Structure 1
């Protein structure tokens, strides 16, 4: 009888142990599956979040490229905090000479912008004389242009696009002769009539609200006459403040319209030159506007 009870106890112990081991095994399997599922879910969500962030970054970058394209048409280069190209301008005996070097005294390599490697803008002290020239490259950072300047004080703007170098278009003083005017004290009068006629060709300027830090549209009505292509577009616009310090070179918003967009970061009086080509000749139409 005693042996029978011991046998029964042994069998019960074995069964109990088997149940414990089996239960633990099932629990472990279920827990493992749960962890695997949780890990898979976390990984998937993490990847989806990462892909979403990457996609948003791509979209933001793409939008930035659309709005700040490689050639936006605006040549004031305001974004650069330093100038890595040093430019000197001289005038003697009807010859304008431009000498430019980078910080290592090497001639910078320039990119072509609107069919020219350099746009040279020259204005007189009273902002009445205006010239848009395209000097020729002579090598070793030297560029020249034959042109007769009358005795006066000028500001010269060398509009270029150096490769891989920061560059900001800044005014360069140029004095021709002994008696010359000064840029300081320049008093421009705002035009009440924004219609100008040059060489029997009339152009009228209309604008959106002239405020600061907002997109401003400049529309030039050429009175039914389509300008001839000039430097890759239907026209060009150069804007200076009344002191001849702030320079903006703007190009049309499309190849088929004489419509331009720009921004003004400060209130004041500005002079606008709209350049359009008719009958093989480029006319520069001057307008004086006020930004409030």
Structure 2
């Protein structure tokens, strides 16, 4: 009897040892199983927060990356056409960004004429929209998000008619009065010191009004340097605030256009600022 108990206990010990050894081998072969479960929860939360934050954050496009999509722009009979091809000459698929597949910014050489348009898809990789442009030189910015491809918003030269003045010949004068009234609606811009390499908050006081949601936000701000080369597209820091944050890596004179929708009308408020060292 005692001998049977001893044999049973010995067998149990051997079995338990085999189970422990098997689990040890399995755990070492799959060291990321438990960690991945925790990482999925944590990282998923971080990704969601980053996505929400970037939804409002400065869309200051990096221009030193190699863009894998090349837009081609043409203008004829008051219609602008954009053709998109990727690095393999294929048609890129676009993601929706602020309720549109494409944001088209057109600015004249003197930085006085400004258009923010949304071309419609007319064919594979072809987008078009109507716009009446005077004889002048323009900088065109194609603001898109191609799926799975790197893309940097860069200025594209567009010449209309015979007159081709150069960008930079605009004699911009820095504003001293930061209160603007457009079609009866006043907006006042307040900000702290404008210095390079510092986060700058642009606070737009819309007085007694409240902007209506426009393209998924309470407003949009587009900023260009004096040469029309540096493009910055900024969104509000929160859904209920007309405050925009960005930074500048170079001193100089910049022009910004703040867009707000009141009722059925989108009003554009231009300001000229100087960023110092």
Q: TM-score range by the shorter chain?
A: 0.7 to 0.9
Question: How much has 1:68 moved relative to structure 2?
Answer: 9.1
Alignment-derived partner of residue 238 in structure 1 = 222
Instruction: Work out whether residues 229 and 277 of structure 1, in 8 Å CA contact, stay in contact via their aligned partners in 2.
Output: yes
Alignment-derived partner of residue 192 in structure 2 = 208
Instruction: Work out whether residues 76 and 168 of structure 1, in 8 Å CA contact, stay in contact via their aligned partners in 2.
Output: no
Alignment-derived partner of residue 72 in structure 2 = 88
Higher relative contact order (CA 8 A, sep 6+): 2
Question: How much has 1:181 moved relative to structure 2?
Answer: 2.1
Instruction: Work out whether residues 90 and 174 of structure 1, in 8 Å CA contact, stay in contact via their aligned partners in 2.
Output: yes
Q: TM-score, normalised by structure 1?
A: 0.76
Question: How much has 1:238 moved relative to structure 2?
Answer: 0.3
Q: Mind listing any 5+ residue stretches in structure 2 that lack a counterpart?
A: 1-30
Q: Do structure 1's residue 272 and structure 2's residue 256 form an aligned pair?
A: yes
Q: Mind listing any 5+ residue stretches in structure 1 that lack a counterpart?
A: 1-46
Alignment-derived partner of residue 238 in structure 2 = 254
Instruction: Work out whether residues 252 and 261 of structure 1, in 8 Å CA contact, stay in contact via their aligned partners in 2.
Output: yes
Q: Which secondary structure does the structure 1 equivalent of 2:244 belong to?
A: strand
Instruction: Work out whether residues 123 and 131 of structure 1, in 8 Å CA contact, stay in contact via their aligned partners in 2.
Output: yes
1:39-80 CA-to-partner distances (Å, cap 9, x unmatched) read: xxxxxxxx9xxx8xx99xx78x94996499553543332176
Q: Which secondary structure does the structure 2 equivalent of 1:82 belong to?
A: coil
- Aligned residue pairs total 238
Alignment-derived partner of residue 123 in structure 1 = 107
Alignment-derived partner of residue 138 in structure 1 = 122
Measure the CA separation in 2 of the matches of 1:197 and 1:186: 23
Instruction: Work out whether residues 116 and 134 of structure 1, in 8 Å CA contact, stay in contact via their aligned partners in 2.
Output: yes
1:197-242 CA-to-partner distances (Å, cap 9, x unmatched) read: 1101110001122111111100000012001111111111000001
Measure the CA separation in 2 of the matches of 1:68 and 1:244: 29
Q: Do structure 1's residue 152 and structure 2's residue 136 form an aligned pair?
A: yes
Measure the CA separation in 2 of the matches of 1:218 and 1:175: 33
Alignment-derived partner of residue 221 in structure 1 = 205
Q: 1:228 to 1:84 in 2, by over 3 A?
A: same
Q: Which secondary structure does the structure 2 equivalent of 1:71 belong to?
A: helix
Q: 1:105 to 1:128 in 2, by over 3 A?
A: same
Instruction: Work out whether residues 110 and 167 of structure 2, in 8 Å CA contact, stay in contact via their aligned partners in 1.
Output: yes
Q: TM-score, normalised by structure 2?
A: 0.80
